Amino acid sequence: MTDLNKSTTPMVERINRLRQERNAVILAHNYVPGDVQDVADFVGDSLELAQKSARINADVIVFCGVYFMAETAVILNPDKTVLLPDLNAGCPMANMITGAELRDFKAKHPGAKVVCYVNSTAEVKAESDICCTSANAAKVVGSLGDSEILFVPDRHLGDHVASQLNRPMTLWPGFCPTHQHFSTAEIDSLRATHPGAPVLVHPECARPMRQAADFVLSTGQMCRHVATAPEQKFIIGTEDGIIHRMRKENPGKEFYLVSQRLRCPNMKKITLEKVLWSLEGMQFKITVDPEIAKAARRSIEAMLDVSK
């Protein structure tokens, strides 16, 4: 939670005043800029934010992340106003599959269960049996027994889960462009410079990078790991916004980003100024077709039930 007494800049003071006047909660993903994380009421990964969204006690949710995350908050809170500070904060991975494409995919695999990564549109979630996040994907897939699994849209997360569980899955060929922006050579170089520093990468990374790492973790899992690990130095292979939170929560430890190219341009569209403008103008309100929302809610709630 944000300590409002520590927020002293004029812009943050205006955000705090409007937050109280609107009875608003500010949720932020680990990848948004650091000053946005600092003003948020809660910062987390996709699973943590979905769980938090399901328990919001406020009239307004300002979602500091990308479009599909705000959609998820709408689906879980149909009676609340959900605002996204920048409508252009999208997700290339989510755009790599449509509801129509998923319907065609399912038609080729009758009887299969569809596991949908939350990095997807509401329409795709509505066509799925259950959602998952990078933190709980193995648990979700494991809950489906021996069913044939169609995993959408991230082929790298799907490949990671398939290897964890030693079971075949049919993977949609989607991916996160940001997590493709580094190489095993960069990991090797940092290992040589910082011997003994463990390498933590995100499961959205391709298999060679996952195999070169010591740990493959969601961003929330990364934060918990570095907080309790005995090491003082860590090499991080995910979007650079996470470094702000890690340094803030672990002031005595050092963190090295595998590559400076690990930056999501969409997450960085959520700025402090836009958070203020969002609260001032109550913009931009996100809506989801009620029938799509009803179907998508079933797949999200199925995930939350497995994650309890």
Helix (H) or strand (E) holding 254: strand 254-257
* pTM reported for the whole predicted model: 0.92
Instruction: Specify whether 8 is located in the same domain as 86.
Output: yes
Instruction: Specify whether 85 is located in the same domain as 113.
Output: no
Tens-place pLDDT, residues 216-243: 999 999 999 999 999 999 999 999 999 9
Does residue 80 fall inside a structural domain?
A: yes
Tens-place pLDDT, residues 270-293: 999 999 999 999 999 999 999 999
Q: Give the pLDDT of residue 1.
A: 41
Instruction: Specify whether 11 is located in the same domain as 79.
Output: yes
Q: Give the pLDDT of residue 124.
A: 98
Instruction: Specify whether 124 is located in the same domain as 157.
Output: yes
Q: What is the CATH number of the domain that holds 132?
A: 3.40.50.10800
The 3-state DSSP class for residue 181 equals coil
Q: Give the pLDDT of residue 80.
A: 94
| Helix, strand, coil percentages, rounded to 5, for the chain | 45, 15, 40
Report CA-CA distances (Å) from 27 to 52, 69, 89, 124, 148. Answer: 9, 10, 15, 23, 35
Rounded Cα gap, residues 285 and 8, in angstroms: 28
Instruction: Specify whether 69 is located in the same domain as 216.
Output: no
Instruction: Specify whether 137 is located in the same domain as 156.
Output: yes
Instruction: Specify whether 251 is located in the same domain as 295.
Output: no
Burial, 241: exposed, middle or buried (Cβ in 10 Å; 0-12, 13-18, 19+)?
buried
Instruction: Specify whether 195 is located in the same domain as 165.
Output: no
Domain that holds residue 79: 4-90+267-287
Give pLDDT < 70 ranges for the chain: 1-7
Domains contained in the chain, number? 3
Rounded Cα gap, residues 263 and 36, in angstroms: 16
Instruction: Specify whether 37 is located in the same domain as 57.
Output: yes
